[in-house]
Amino acid sequence: MAKTSLLKRQAEVYLRIAHRQLGMAEALLEKGFYEGAIFHCYHAFESACSAGVANRGQRVPLRHRAKFNKFRRLYPDLPFSAEFAALLAELYPKRERSLYADIEYGKIADPALEYSRQDAEETLARTQDMVGQIESLLRGHH
Amino acid sequence: MKRDKWADFKRIIGDGDFESALCAVDEALASLQKKYGPALVSVMLFGSLARKSRTYNDIDLLLVTEESLGSTHQVTKELSQEIFGHLFWEHGELFSFLVYSKAQFEGLRGYLPLFDEVERDGVLLYGQDLFAETSG
């Protein structure tokens, strides 16, 4: 199979992974695991970026920073670049905070208490929208 | 131990591999000063970039303000939308940041391992070196 065709198929699989990650986020949100929902939002976003890179016939970098940068370079005129960059800048530190019990503000930051249902719902809605926009872009609907 | 200040750090590290990171930090500093004004007490760079590692993943900042700025969720969202998102798109650099009020910082010194790292490797970007002021 030609390399380009293989990478196009990889892009489709990454889009499916992005949607499954969103599904996991939804399921965790419903169960009250808000930090888990946010964790999976980050990975849905990351998988959609992987799809974007593979869709352009490029190898997907393993390291996240390199992956996001490759996406940025491949889509310099992204019509929703401001929303994309703001969501990434927000999800990136939030993912870490969903995993670790750092000490701050004079108390231990318990990931279980870090995010409210409203925070998780809002983050999920914005991530769903972003994954949808990236998918539309890859399917040529933008 | 003499702490690197930002201008010295930039001179030592040069451009090359770190050019985009240095530009992103300069812009972040200008934006933070504009946003918070005199309420911004100190900004320090720490983590792998402060240790001059060419394989740094993100840019870690410690911000100390006069008063608490609110919940971490609020601050993260606000700074991402107003400052750090734009810097990613412009320079390809991701930021992680911690924000404390001066009182919170003083209260946590001595038992937060992360502060030991900042004290050891941190680069003073702006304002007061709170570690120098409170040590000894």
pLDDT given for residue A28 in this prediction: 96
Structure tokens belonging to residue A39: 């964790």
CA-CA distances (angstroms) from residue A108 to A113, A114, B73?
10, 10, 15
Select the residue from A42, A92, A110 to test the B interface by mutation, using most B Cβ atoms within 10 A.
A92
ipTM, two decimals: 0.82
pLDDT given for residue A97 in this prediction: 73
Across chain B, mean pLDDT equals: 87
Nearest neighbour of A85 by CB, restricted to B58, B85, B108: B85
Out of 3.40.1030.10, 3.30.9.10, 3.90.1150.10, 3.30.460.10, the CATH code matching B6-134 is 3.30.460.10
Question: Whole-angstrom Cα distance, residue A22 to residue A44?
Answer: 6
Interface membership of A65 toward B (CB under 8 Å): yes
Helical ranges in chain A per DSSP H = 3-31, 34-55, 64-74, 81-97, 111-114, 117-138
- Identify the DSSP state of B80: I
pLDDT given for residue B85 in this prediction: 96
A38, closest residue in chain B (CA to CA): B73
pLDDT given for residue A81 in this prediction: 96
Q: Model confidence over B50-96: pLDDT tens digits? A: 998 888 889 999 999 998 887 777 888 899 999 999 999 999 999 98
Nearest neighbour of B107 by CB, restricted to A81, A88, A106: A106
CB contact under 8 A, A72 and B86: no
Domains and CATH numbers, chain A: 3-138 (1.20.120.330)
| Segment B87-112 mean pLDDT | 87
Tell me the residues of B at the A interface, defined by beta carbons under 8 Å apart: 57-58, 68, 72-73, 76-77, 79-81, 84-89, 92, 94-98, 100, 104, 107-108, 111-112, 114
pLDDT given for residue B63 in this prediction: 93
Give which of B7, B62, B66, B59 is closest to B36, Cα–Cα. Answer: B66
- Identify the DSSP state of A85: H
pTM: 0.85
* CB within 8 Å of chain B, chain A residues 16-55: none
pLDDT above 70 (res A60):
yes
Q: Give residues with Cβ within 8 angstroms of A46, minimum separation 6.
A: A64, A67, A68
Give which of A127, A34, A141 is closest to A79, Cα–Cα. Answer: A141
pLDDT given for residue B75 in this prediction: 86
Question: Whole-angstrom Cα distance, residue B50 to residue B8?
Answer: 12
Question: Whole-angstrom Cα distance, residue A95 to residue B94?
Answer: 13
A84: exposed, middle or buried (Cβ count in 10 Å: 0-12, 13-18, 19+): buried
Give which of A61, A64, A133, A123 is closest to A94, Cα–Cα. Answer: A123
Minimum mean pLDDT range among A101-115, B2-16, B24-38, B86-100: A101-115
Minimum mean pLDDT range among A85-94, A124-133, B66-75: B66-75
Residue B73 near residue A115 (C-beta atoms within 8 A): yes
pLDDT given for residue B2 in this prediction: 64
pLDDT given for residue A105 in this prediction: 45
Using alpha carbons only, give the angle B3, B102, B109 rounded to the nearest 5 degrees. Answer: 65
Strand partners, B59: B95
